[in-house]
Amino acid sequence: MRRIVITGMGAICALGHDAPSVWKAMTEGRSGIGPIHHIQPGQLRNGGIAAEVSDYDPAKHFDEARRTLLDPFSEYALIAANEAIRQSGISFQGEASARTAVVIGTGAGGETTRDDLYERLYGEHQGRFHPLGIVRMMMNAPASQVSMVHGITGPAFVVASACASSNHAFAQAAMMIRSGMVDAAVVGGTEACITLGTLRAWEAMRVLAPDTCRPFSKGRRGLVLGEGAAMYVLETLESAQKRGAEIICELVGTGMSSDAGDIAAPSDIGAAAAMNMALRDGGLSPQDVDYVNAHGTGTVANDSTETKAIHRVFGEHAREMLISSTKSMHGHALGAGGALELVAAIGAIHDGIIPPTINYLEPDPACDLDYVPNVAREKKVDAAISNSFAFGGLNAVVAIRRMG
């Protein structure tokens, strides 16, 4: 089987505008959650908090002609992809262009553009739309934009499976590389969902926290939406070694399952199935895993169910592992969540630091594992998994390992 390594990483979210800044904020336990700046007070019932990308000026990244084509979810994807490709040093010249894939996960698509268009139609009763509205909001836009900017002519598409989108994208890219269809892939997730329409819809589900995100903590009151993107360069070990690339870590396994149960309520059986599949695919035993970056949304049902799933998979070893949810810092970025959380899993392997679960108040009897509350902890990590579990019962898990 062809071994897959990660040679480039890029990110932008509420914690920073590049991957090193995001990782530093995670290790410091810094929160990106705060008041929403572009929505008027009183328009939201939950107090109007989210994890926005702050101090962001698209003009610093894109010229005016390109900006007219881009919704923020495509902007974020391009910024993160550009960073990952620069770090990797990979070239897409010649045959490599057709031997590279672009696979991006997103759950919501171009919500900013969609919200603006509907405000004009229903709020202002305007009859004319921007002629580029469709190409800005369509789900496949970020994959198309990354392929065009970098001249990548291999398979390019978007995976949309709600909060599991990024990890499903990693799985699709890994399968294409392993099969020999491609030799490399630019892969990750992106989301720009902090819009009035999106937030009001989430409010209606009564799962948004009014104060902050407290995964696994007693007194948690729900999730907080976030936005941003993280992108990676995956390639064969042979390719990376041949060109002398610095290898960040090895992607060894992916696991996917469907609960086939409730559209919103999670299942510990389904989540455990995806974790077990990722371990088997990666040739890992439960005892090999040192860190779990949990889905950890901060809702009562999700966190207790995920805890049960971890017990199912890891048995007694579950109490020896360290587990944390970085959503407590960068919010729940929906389809980009898994990609942003892989920054944490990679950082744990690379630097031996486990980012904390911040805002933690006190233990919940239903969540009885070590969630690294509030303060980062040092620990050597040889292997880690990152969990993503979506509405609709769609589960996807990625397993990574230190290069030996």
Which residues does the annotation mark as catalytic? 163, 295, 332
Mention every residue, 6+ apart, whose C-beta is less than 8 A from residue 386: 167, 292, 293, 338, 341, 342, 344, 345, 397, 398, 400
356: which DSSP letter?
P
**Amino acid identity at 193:** C
Give the three-class secondary structure for 220. Answer: coil
Closest CA to 230 of 17, 4, 5: 17
Q: What are the backbone dihedrals phi and psi of residue 164, each rounded to the nearest 5 degrees, phi first? A: -100, 5
DSSP H/E element including 165: helix 165-179
Contact 14, 226 (CB under 8 A): yes
Q: Residue 113 phi/psi, 5° resolution?
A: -65, -45
- In a 3-state reduction of DSSP, which class is residue 91? coil
Bridge partners, 256 (sequence order): 396
Query: Within its chain, how far is the Cα of 170 from the centroid?
Result: 10
Question: What does DSSP say about strands 353-354 and 377-378: parallel, antiparallel, or unpaired?
Answer: antiparallel
Residues contacting 150, CB < 8 A, separation 6+: 81, 85, 92, 186
Burial class (CB in 10 A: 0-12, 13-18, 19+), 263: exposed
Q: How many CA atoms lie within 13 A of 316 on its CB side?
A: 0
The packing angle between helices 337-351 and 165-179, to 10°, is 70
- Judged on CB neighbours under 10 Å (0-12, 13-18, 19+), 179 is exposed
What is the distance in angstroms between the CA of the first residue and the CA of the last residue of the chain?
Answer: 17
